[in-house]
């Protein structure tokens, strides 16, 4: 399958993408994960991206389009891919259209994950991540706490709030989403490519996508 997953931070794009990869071996491509990996590895890309990310700002398009231009040409994309966190703004969507045309790839559709704002806010502020970059286990202080508060079950390192998951950074990410990313739903609607799903549970989304693909 070749899909774009569209939705606010905390809407569950990553979780849904991981579930979908198990169906047919399509790969998850998360620009957020690629960027965080680059920051942790201390590459030039990581150094350039870090300050934007910590502030909850978008990383410049040129960097993102370079990453995606290379990534979509890798062999593992031939089975299909799930784009998670990209495109993020109309110019990226337009650039992606040009890129896909150039490499002769056609999307199945664009899944829009619809989740109430209070649910999203709650999910993001209660998320904790293991600070050990090799582990990065994810917890939730309400729904999935570690056995000992503040300590990772898997490796014993500290669990922390991501720099972009403080209340300030989250508000900013959600504002940025409303202003810059939400208009993408209209962009794809006009092109007849949108598939809207109420996404309170990731399993519901996966079932709906499966059904739609089968049609
Ligand atoms: P979320 O969607 O939960 O905000 P991501 O993991 O997708 O988090 O992204 C984390 C950060 O990485 C973003 O806040 C932004 O700084 C950067 N980023 C990720 N994808 C893009 C993109 N397509 N364009 C610009 N910046 C991006
Ligand atoms: Zn850990």
- Protein residue with least CA distance to atom 18, ligand 1: 32
Q: Which ligand is nearest to the CA of 128?
A: 2
Span from the CA of 81 to the centroid of ligand 1 (angstroms): 18
36 catalytic? Reply is no
Q: Quote the ligand 1 centre to 186 CA distance (angstroms).
A: 20
Sheet holding 159-160, edge to edge: 138-140, 127-130, 159-160
CA separation for the pair 57, 51 (Å, rounded): 8
Q: How much is the pTM?
A: 0.85
Q: Which residue has the tokens 């693909």?
A: 213
What residues have a C-beta under 5 A from ligand 2, the ion? 130, 132, 135, 137, 152, 154-155, 157
Per-residue pLDDT of the chain (215 residues; tens, 9 = 90+): 999 999 998 898 988 998 999 999 999 999 998 999 999 899 999 999 999 998 878 899 999 999 999 999 999 999 999 999 999 999 999 999 999 999 999 999 999 999 998 888 888 899 999 999 888 888 999 889 999 999 999 999 999 998 878 888 888 889 989 999 999 999 999 999 999 999 888 899 999 999 999 98
Domains with residue ranges and CATH for the chain: 2-26+79-214 (3.40.50.300)
């Amino acid at each position: 399958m070749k899909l774009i997953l569209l939705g606010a931070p905390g809407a569950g794009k990553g979780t849904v993408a991981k579930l979908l990869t198990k169906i047919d071996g399509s790969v998850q491509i998360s620009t957020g994960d690629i960027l965080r990996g680059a920051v942790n590895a201390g590459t030039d890309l990581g150094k350039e991206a870090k300050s934007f990310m910590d502030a909850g700002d978008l990383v410049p398009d040129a960097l993102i389009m370079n990453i995606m231009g290379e990534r979509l040409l890798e062999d593992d994309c031939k089975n299909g891919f799930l784009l998670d966190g990209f495109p993020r703004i109309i110019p990226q969507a337009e650039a992606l259209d040009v890129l896909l045309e150039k490499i002769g790839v056609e999307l199945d559709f664009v899944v829009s994950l619809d989740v109430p704002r209070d649910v999203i806010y709650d999910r993001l502020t209660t998320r904790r991540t293991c600070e050990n970059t090799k582990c990065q286990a994810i917890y939730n202080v309400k729904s999935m706490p570690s056995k000992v508060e503040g300590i990772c079950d898997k490796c014993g390192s500290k669990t922390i709030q991501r720099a972009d998951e403080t209340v300030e950074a989250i508000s900013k990410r959600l504002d940025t989403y409303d202003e810059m990313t939400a208009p993408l739903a209209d962009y794809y609607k006009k092109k007849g490519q949108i598939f809207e799903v109420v996404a309170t549970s990731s399993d519901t989304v996966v079932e709906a996508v499966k059904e739609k693909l089968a049609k």
